[in-house]
Structure 1
């Protein structure tokens, strides 16, 4: 009877191992994949070492567990060592919070921080968007056809709508005050994101969120002004 119970538990743990392994492949973030594989290896160890002793399978499950534990610890240590400047921390939380810190650091290193002067044009309507901007401090006016249609300020992106597609800008964005900005060349971003699909997914999600926020603010401004005239 005990043998039947042990065999049943080994069978259940064996299937649980593969279920966990399949589930581990689903998350986009690598750390979750590692954790899933570790959980799968533990189930395999229970199945082949405790409920039904199979030395060869036990060895490979232990190896799978140890390798992923080492890789996970290395990943956590590298993330813990990453540092961000006071300018970068808000950008990290607002736009890159879906990325591991090490990956976010790598993305930010594709651009640089600069100070813009009032009156400078960041992007011009009808022309290709050559740079992506993140405004940390300062304000800019958005115009289309010579008419003001909105404003952007701290926490906003400029150029995210067309920077990756290469299309021309649908509006002109001009600084109204001095501004502290992160800036990255469009061509550099395209090449980088083509080579790093996990970062591309997170960045495109952030772009979509930023665009939705801008549209909400624009609709709010139009409503407060009494509608379109």
Structure 2
């Protein structure tokens, strides 16, 4: 196989991988590499006059990567939000995470405040930064939520009414967002939806495991 054929196949492979990867940053990098290899292929086969198209590919990829980098650098987060990014939102790009967090608000709650009520159609997602919440089904306590955990992700994922009641057990600091706002945001940002759904699923799975351990220990 000639060198030109190898370069052509490399361009095709890089572009294919750029379409398949979920990471936007890695996709831009692969497109840029494909453009650079395309420059080498064009120069080898046809001389400098055909380098315009590959050069434009490299330029577009570089512009997108620079815009993404600047957006990441500009994103600012509080200490509570940084812990949220390192925990349940781990893996979501910082610029997208900033937009996601802007769909909700930070609030303070007191002991006895109801976050989620069993059977009620209103869906909200919470993040417990400090404090504690108790989970009950038909009046019986079945678990608890601790700092660093999401609350209400089951109803958000299933687009269904809550199957449990969650009340604060003490004064707490929370982030809260309505399910409708989150749904609209995710519809407009499909690249974030997959990552967020993965985060919510992991959070729900970990709480179910913790609940099962509590039942066994009990």
Shift of 1:165: 4.0
For 1:139, the equivalent position in structure 2 comes to: 132
- Which structure 1 residue ranges, 4+ long, deviate > 4 Å from structure 2? none
Shift of 1:164: 4.8
1:147-180 Cα shifts (integer Å, max 9, x gaps)? 1110001111111101354422111111001010
Distance 1:39 1:92 in 2: 30
For 1:33, the equivalent position in structure 2 comes to: 27
Distance 2:140 2:64 in 1: 55
For 1:13, the equivalent position in structure 2 comes to: 7
105-114 or 71-80: which moved more?
Answer: 71-80
Conservation of the 8 A alpha-carbon contact between 2:88 and 2:149: no
The residue matched to 2:20 in structure 1 has which SS? coil
Does the alignment pair 1:24 with 2:51? no
Distance 2:63 2:8 in 1: 24
Pick aligned residue for 1:60 from 38, 48, 53: 53
For 2:39, the equivalent position in structure 1 comes to: 45
Shift of 1:222: 0.5
Conservation of the 8 A alpha-carbon contact between 2:90 and 2:199: no
Conservation of the 8 A alpha-carbon contact between 1:142 and 1:173: yes
The residue matched to 1:163 in structure 2 has which SS? helix
For 2:110, the equivalent position in structure 1 comes to: 117
Distance 1:217 1:165 in 2: 21
1:117-138 Cα shifts (integer Å, max 9, x gaps)? 0011111112124321110000
Alignment gaps of 5+ in structure 1: 1-6
The residue matched to 1:128 in structure 2 has which SS? coil
Conservation of the 8 A alpha-carbon contact between 1:129 and 1:163: no
In the alignment of these two chains, the number of paired residues is 218
Structure 2 length normalisation: TM-score?
A: 0.95
Conservation of the 8 A alpha-carbon contact between 1:131 and 1:184: yes
Does the alignment pair 1:193 with 2:162? no
For 1:4, the equivalent position in structure 2 comes to: none
Conservation of the 8 A alpha-carbon contact between 2:156 and 2:179: yes
The residue matched to 1:199 in structure 2 has which SS? helix
Larger Rg: 1
Conservation of the 8 A alpha-carbon contact between 2:157 and 2:197: no
Across the aligned residues of Structure 1 and Structure 2, the Cα RMSD in angstroms comes to 1.5
Distance 1:116 1:149 in 2: 21
Distance 2:193 2:70 in 1: 24
